[in-house]
Amino acid sequence: MINFREQYENIEIPKELDLAIKQGIKKGKREMKKRKNKLYLGTISLVASLLIVFILGVNISTTFAKAISQMPGGERIVKILTFNHQGKIEGGQLGDGQDIKDFDVEKKGQWEELTIEFDGVEGINNYTIIPISYPNGLLLEFSGTRSFTGKDKLPDLTEYQLIDNFYPLITLDDQLFRFIITFKKDVDYQIKEISTENKIVISVKEKEERIPTKLLYSLRTASYPFHEEVGHIESILKFEYFSENARMLGDVSGMLFIEEGLYESKAQALARKHELKELGFEYNLYIEERDNLKIPEKIVE
C-alpha cells in the first residue's frame, strides 16, 4: 500500500485536469447541498463527476495515462478508457521520427481486430483515419513518421471474413505514411488508441443489415507498380487540374492507380475525361463501373 501511495503522489497532473477536477468537485458539492435529504444520490453524482474528469484526464495527457497504467490495475483502466470513435478520427500528439514497426490481426468473437504498433517516442504521433467508399474501407494517415520497418510484416488476411486488404500508398512527403484498409462486407468499426503501448487497434464487425448503394463510375488511370510516379500523377490532378477528389487506390492485383473522381453516370465521367484531355492531361484515363464493395480492377495499357 505504501508503494501504491508513492506512485499516486508522484503522478504529474496536467493543468487542464487539475482545473477540471476542481470544477467537478465544486459542481458536486453544489448538487449535494441542494439534496441534503438525498445524501446517497449526491455522493453518486460527485463520484460520477470525478470519474468523467478522470476519463478526460486519460485522454488529454499521455504522461498521466502512462503513470496510471503503472499502478496496480491501472493498465486495464487506461485500455478501457481510451478513445472509441466511429467516423473521422484525429488523434495522437505532435512529434517526429516515429517508426511503424509491427502489425497484428486476430479474431475476437464477432470482431476482427487489426493492431498497428509504433516505436521511437512515447505515445503516438498525429494521425487521421477517414472512412472511404467505392471501395468500402478506411484511409489511415500517420504524420511525423519517418520509417516503416514493419513493411515485411503486413498481415495475412486470407482467412478473415471482414477485412479484405491492408496496404500502403505512395506518399511524396517523407514525414507522412498512408495506408488503406478495405472490407469485404458492410461493417461497424471502432478505433482504439492505446498511447501507453504505442498502438492503434481497428476493430470491425459485420453490420446487421447491408447498406444499399448504387453503381458509380470511376474515372481512373491504368494500374502502376509501387513507384513515385503514381504519387506525382495524384499531385498533378489535385493541384494542376483541381480534381479535389483525386485519390490513390489499390487494385485486385496489388498495383496502384489514381482515381480522378466518381460520377453518377458514364456520360459525366466521359465528359470530364474529354475536358482533362483538352486541358493537356497527358495520362490515359479509363471509366470503370464499381459497386461500394467491389475492389477496383487491374487495368493495363
- Please state, as a whole number, how many other Cβ atoms lie within 10 Å of the Cβ of residue 3: 9
Strand bridging mode 286-290 / 216-220 = antiparallel
| Res. 4 pLDDT band, cuts 50 70 90 | very low
pTM: predicted TM-score of the whole model, two decimal places: 0.73
Q: Show Cβ contacts of residue 13 under 8 Å, excluding neighbours closer than 6 positions.
A: 21, 57, 64
Model confidence over 13-22: pLDDT tens digits? 444 445 545 5
Q: How far is CA 206 from CA 97, 105, 130, in A?
A: 36, 16, 19
Distance in angstroms (rounded) separating the CA atoms of residues 133 and 182: 9
Is residue 137 within 8 Å of residue 248, measured between CB atoms? no
pLDDT of residue 300: 96
Model confidence over 171-221: pLDDT tens digits? 998 889 999 999 999 999 888 888 778 889 999 999 998 888 899 999 999
pLDDT reading at 27 higher than 50: yes
Residue type, 93: Q
pLDDT of residue 44: 45
Looking at mean pLDDT, say which of 58-62, 82-86, 272-276 comes out highest.
272-276
The half-sphere exposure of 172 on its side-chain side, counting CA atoms within 13 A, is 10
Q: What is Dmax (Cα atoms) for the chain?
A: 80
Model confidence over 87-115: pLDDT tens digits? 578 887 888 878 889 999 999 999 999 99
Is residue 96 within 8 Å of residue 142, measured between CB atoms? no
CA 112 to chain CA centroid, nearest Å: 15
Distance in angstroms (rounded) separating the CA atoms of residues 175 and 191: 23
pLDDT of residue 70: 54
Task: Specify the higher pLDDT residue, 212 or 68.
Answer: 212
Q: At what angle do helices 39-60 and 74-81 cross, to 10 degrees?
A: 80
Residue type, 220: R
pLDDT reading at 126 higher than 60: yes
Residue type, 198: N
Task: Specify the higher pLDDT residue, 235 or 78.
Answer: 235
**Nine-digit cell at 176?**
507522412
Closest CA to 277 of 264, 260, 293, 294: 260
Alpha helices, H only, the chain? 2-9, 15-34, 39-60, 62-69, 74-81, 228-239, 266-279
Model confidence over 232-252: pLDDT tens digits? 999 999 999 999 999 999 999
